[in-house]
């Protein structure tokens, strides 16, 4: 795993002066990296979250969000690796694995308009715009994703997703998520848009372009997004990324004080073992 750069710091307000004690219980969530092939190479779809949002406001992220308890509905028409397979990859109960995959497909549809489902096990919706009203109803939680699929005789295409990683928000933050990251190829004929109230703009960028934007200060990235972009940059095409053999371990970063900044460290960082109670230190105490 690449080392997080020292200049990758948390945005102001991400951690309160007095972190929750005990820490907040992480909410299960799913995030999807939509990728496509272009002349410059593999590109990934990114959203800049609306400034002022309670979690990651103003940051550039992938589509995703929290699991709805109805995402575990066993009536969903399903094609691809069964929930038991996903449970093994994410080391979680089968019911949660089912919910995570459904949440990944649902959140991708809600936040980008891309629908990883089709009329049968061998096809994908070529034009999701007829479902625009239903998309908003899903956002408003008027009905479940399972009901949406059933009403439109659609099959969830779990085979279009790949497990990528699992990140948990540091214990110091008041809003925490246990997020499973998925990879998915952009379906032919579909269009990813920015028609979501949670994004102020959207873009397609190669991973290296997105990292350059961060270095230039034009886009903010959280550590899991930075790490995922760095990993995706190793792949020149969608095919190689989708075929990558990934070991999915739960990554639980910690927050350390570095001068007057707060940054995240990972389990293999020497500072990780001594990070406990670091926020009791004076703001001008540089990390040793």
**Cα–Cα distances in angstroms (integers) from residue 136 to residues 24, 62, 121, 129, 140, in the given order:** 30, 19, 25, 12, 6
pLDDT above 70: residue 154? yes
Q: What is the mean pLDDT of the chain?
A: 90
In angstroms, the CA 224 to CA 238 distance is 20
pLDDT at 58: 85
pLDDT at 17: 77
pLDDT at 182: 98
Given pLDDT bands bounded at 50, 70 and 90, which one contains residue 281? very low
pLDDT at 52: 66
In angstroms, the CA 35 to CA 78 distance is 22
* Closest C-alpha to 15, from 181, 180, 215, 262: 262
In angstroms, the CA 264 to CA 256 distance is 6
198-210 per-position pLDDT tens digit: 778 999 999 999 9
Per cent of the chain over pLDDT 70 is 93
Domains located in the chain, CATH noted: 28-249 (3.90.79.10)
Q: Looking up tokens 């990883």, which residue turns up?
A: 116
Per cent of the chain over pLDDT 90 is 72
Lowest-confidence region among 19-23, 75-79, 219-223: 19-23
pLDDT at 33: 98
Q: How many CA atoms lie within 13 A of 245 on its CB side?
A: 0
64-99 per-position pLDDT tens digit: 999 999 999 999 999 999 999 999 999 999 999 999
In angstroms, the CA 157 to CA 149 distance is 11
Lowest-confidence region among 78-92, 107-121, 225-239, 246-260: 246-260
pLDDT at 257: 82
């Amino acid at each position: 795993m690449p080392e997080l750069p020292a200049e990758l710091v948390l945005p102001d307000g991400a951690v309160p002066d007095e972190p929750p004690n005990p820490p907040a219980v992480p909410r299960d969530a799913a995030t999807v990296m939509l990728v496509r092939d272009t002349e410059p190479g593999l590109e990934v779809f990114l959203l800049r979250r609306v400034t002022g949002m309670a979690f990651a406001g103003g940051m550039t992220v992938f589509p995703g969000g929290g699991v709805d308890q109805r995402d575990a509905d066993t009536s969903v028409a399903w094609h691809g690796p069964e929930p038991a397979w996903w449970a093994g990859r994410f080391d979680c109960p089968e019911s949660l694995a089912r919910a995570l995959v459904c949440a990944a497909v649902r959140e991708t549809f809600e936040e980008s308009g891309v629908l990883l489902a089709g009329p049968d096990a061998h096809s994908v919706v070529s034009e999701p715009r007829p479902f625009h009203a239903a998309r908003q109803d899903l956002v408003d939680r008027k009905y479940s994703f399972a009901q949406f699929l059933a009403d439109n005789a659609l099959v969830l295409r779990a085979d279009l997703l790949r497990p990528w990683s699992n990140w948990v928000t540091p214990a110091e933050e008041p809003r925490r998520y246990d997020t499973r990251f998925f990879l998915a190829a952009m379906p032919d004929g579909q269009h990813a848009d920015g028609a979501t109230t949670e994004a102020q703009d959207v873009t397609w960028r190669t991973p290296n372009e997105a990292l350059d934007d961060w270095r230039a200060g034009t886009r903010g990235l959280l550590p899991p997004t930075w790490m995922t972009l760095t990993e995706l940059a190793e792949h020149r095409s969608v095919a190689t990324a989708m075929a990558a053999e990934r070991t999915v371990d739960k990554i639980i970063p910690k927050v350390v004080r570095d001068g007057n900044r707060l940054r995240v460290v990972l389990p293999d960082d020497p500072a990780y073992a001594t990070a406990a109670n670091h926020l009791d230190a004076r703001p001008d105490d540089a990390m040793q």
